[in-house]
Each structure stands twice: as C-alpha cells, then as structure tokens.
Amino acid sequence: MAIAALCLAWFVVLPAGPDTETFVDIAPGSSTSAIAAQLERAHVIRSRYGFELVRLWKRGRLKAGEYRFDRAAAVTEVYARIARGDVYTRAITIPEGSNRFDVATKVEQAGLGSRDAFLEATVHDTQLIADMDPRATSLEGYLFPDTYRFPRKATPGQIVTAMVRRFRQEAGQIGLTRDFHQVVTLASLVERETAVPAERPLVASVLENRMGARMPLQTDSAVIYGLAMEGRWRGAIYASDLALDTPYNTYKHAGLPPGPVANPGLESLKAAAHPAATSYLYFVAAGADPQGRSRFATTLEEHNRNVAAYRAATRQAGGK
C-alpha cells in the first residue's frame, strides 16, 4: 500500500513541468492516450499513465487547442486546464477610430503576424462584406473596434473574419440592414472628427447638411487617410497636402470620400444612421478645443466667431 501511495504521489500529486515556456498544441479528435503522450514528450507531466489515471477518475471531455505551460504543476491541474479549454491566446485591443493601418500595427505588436500580411488580408478578403458593401476595395470600416483574443497561430484571414463578424453583430443590434457603404463611411468621419460621444449626432448632422447643400465636407480625417493610402502622411497636415488631389481630399471633392477612413465604434454608427435634426453647416472640432467641446454654427459669420473664440481659448490655455 505504501509503495502504491508513493507511486500515486509521484505520478499525480507532486508538481512537475518545464523550466521554460512550453507550448503543446492538441489536435481536434486526439485520444486521451495521445494527449498524455504529447504532454509527457513535452515534459509537462512525468508520466502519461498518471494523466490517464486522472482521466479515469475525473472523466470529463478534453478540449483541443494550444496550451502554454511555464511552471511545475500537478497532473490534476494540467488535466483541469485541458478539460476546461484554458487555451493560450493573445489579446489585442482595437480603439474606436483606428484605421486598418493602425490595426495592422497592433496585430504585429501582439505577435499575431506581420503588418504587411494583415494589410494584404484587408484588401484580399473583401468577399467577407460583399453582401453589405459590394463596392468596397478593402475591409476598412468593418474591422469592429473591440478587444479580441486569438490563438498564437491565427492567420490574418481568421483575424479579419472575427472582426467583421463582430461588426455584423453590432450592426444588427442597432438595426443597420442597408446603406452600409454610406452609413459606415459617414460614421468613420464622425468617429475621427469628435471624441465627445454626445456630439456625434450633431457632427453627423453637419456632414449631412453640407452634402445636402452641395458643400465640400472639408474633413481633415479624410485628407489624412488619402495621404496614408499613398504613403505621404507626415504626421501633420500642410497646405501642400490640402492642395494634393486625392480621391479622399474632401476640400477638393464634394460628398463622402470613396470609402470609410477608419473603423467606427457603435455610437458613431448610431449617429451616422440617425443624425440629429439641425441646420448646422460648420463646427470647430472638440479635439482641438481647450474647453473640450465642439462649437457648431449655421452661418459662416457665426463659424468665424467660433473660430476666433477657439483661438482665444487656446491662447489662454497656453497653446499657440
């Protein structure tokens, strides 16, 4: 009995495991004996027989996936992790208003593949949104901002598919079922033009009113995106940038840009789908205002006063 107890303790109870970070990728459909053998070869457990003994005791269903082990643990703990599917993933958080270039950088920083490979997927996999936006030349606007967790070996295609799936879920919740191209493009401008949630329907109304009056939108965010598309963005807008004739230059071309310039969040999508009813045609964006609010105007004269007030507030706050 004493020898049996010692053997049980050696195989099952006493912690064992690797000295360094070790990954074990369990394929779907693997048998208990195959999983036990994998763990033994990886030095995660001392003996496959101890693992199989725990399976007989615990029963339960073992889940496929990649698992990370970096410390000694009892066989019962190893078994429990695989039974509950505690697979290893890497988290990536996409802020609202990120464009696909920003997202690609985040993906690379999270160790989920190269920036270039992700950008290629955003252009190659437009079939994911063909039913919503058949004119789309990329997935820009449909990579929904959120926190995601992906396996270490996730492909760019799997990552963009998850982000588009999340967009569909959120769009469905607000009843967005048509006019995706226009709504998402408008929402992307709203997202980039104000950081104040309560102002988003007002900003959307300004853009809608300007389009109705056949006035150019004059949104810097679209100009910046056009520059980024051509690799010309220098971190600030210069007079020469505004003179550059790109399809996204909303100072030169009336109406919406050719497509979204960022990936909007839920509140901006709501605002674009249901803009406020106003007569505003101008605004000074909150992002640059020391008082933290946008200034809206119906006439150019009123707008000019708002611009002067903004500049005065900026000087008082110590800006230029």
How confident is the model over 174-213, as pLDDT tens digits?
Answer: 999 889 999 999 999 999 988 788 899 999 999 999 999 9
pLDDT of residue 290: 42
Let me know: does 23 contact 66? Beta carbons within 8 Å: yes
* Domain assignment of residue 185, yes or no: no
Same domain, 205 and 307: yes
Segment 107-162, tens digit of pLDDT: 999 999 999 999 999 999 999 999 999 999 999 999 999 999 999 889 999 999 99
Let me know: does 317 contact 290? Beta carbons within 8 Å: yes
Number of domains in the chain: 3
Same domain, 308 and 213: yes
pLDDT of residue 199: 93
List the CATH number of the domain containing 7: 3.30.1490.480
Q: Is the pLDDT of residue 289 over 60?
A: no
* Domain assignment of residue 34, yes or no: yes
- How far is the C-alpha of 35 from the C-alpha of 222, rounded, in Å? 53
**Beta strands 295-297 and 282-284: pairing type?**
antiparallel
Nearest to 269 by CA among 167, 195, 196, 193: 167
* Domain assignment of residue 189, yes or no: no
Query: What is the band of 1 on the pLDDT scale with cuts at 50, 70, 90?
Result: low
- pLDDT: which is higher, 297 or 18: 297
Identify the domain boundary among 49, 68, 87. 87
* Domain assignment of residue 208, yes or no: yes
* Domain assignment of residue 179, yes or no: no
Which residues are CB-contacts of 182 (< 8 A; sequence separation ≥ 6)? 256
Nearest to 276 by CA among 167, 175, 190, 180: 190
Q: Is 31 exposed, middle or buried (0-12, 13-18, 19+ CB in 10 A)?
A: exposed
pTM: 0.83
Residue 69 β-bridge partners: 22
Identify the domain boundary among 43, 70, 87. 87
Same domain, 298 and 268: yes
Same domain, 62 and 121: no
Q: Is the pLDDT of residue 4 over 50?
A: no
The mean of the pLDDT values for the chain is 89
Q: Is the pLDDT of residue 267 over 60?
A: yes
Q: Is the pLDDT of residue 17 over 70?
A: no
Query: What count of Cα atoms within 13 Å lies in the side-chain half-sphere of residue 280?
Result: 22
Crossing angle, helix 180-193 and helix 266-273, to 10 degrees?
A: 120
Let me know: does 247 contact 290? Beta carbons within 8 Å: no
Segment 226-256, tens digit of pLDDT: 998 888 888 888 888 888 888 999 999 999 9
3-state DSSP helix/strand/coil percent for the chain, to nearest 5? 50, 10, 40
68 three-state secondary structure = strand
Q: Is the pLDDT of residue 282 over 90?
A: yes
Same domain, 130 and 199: no
Same domain, 269 and 199: yes
List the CATH number of the domain containing 119: 3.30.1490
**Which pair of structure tokens corresponds to residue 107?**
């993906």
Let me know: does 17 contact 69? Beta carbons within 8 Å: yes
* Domain assignment of residue 184, yes or no: no
Segment 65-106, tens digit of pLDDT: 999 998 889 999 999 999 999 999 999 999 999 999 999 999
Identify the domain boundary among 41, 69, 87. 87
Where in the sequence is the domain holding 79, given as residue range(s)? 2-87
pLDDT of residue 11: 54
Residue 147 β-bridge partners: 93
Which residues are CB-contacts of 274 (< 8 A; sequence separation ≥ 6)? 201
Residue 25 β-bridge partners: 66
Give the residue carrying structure tokens 């000019």: 304
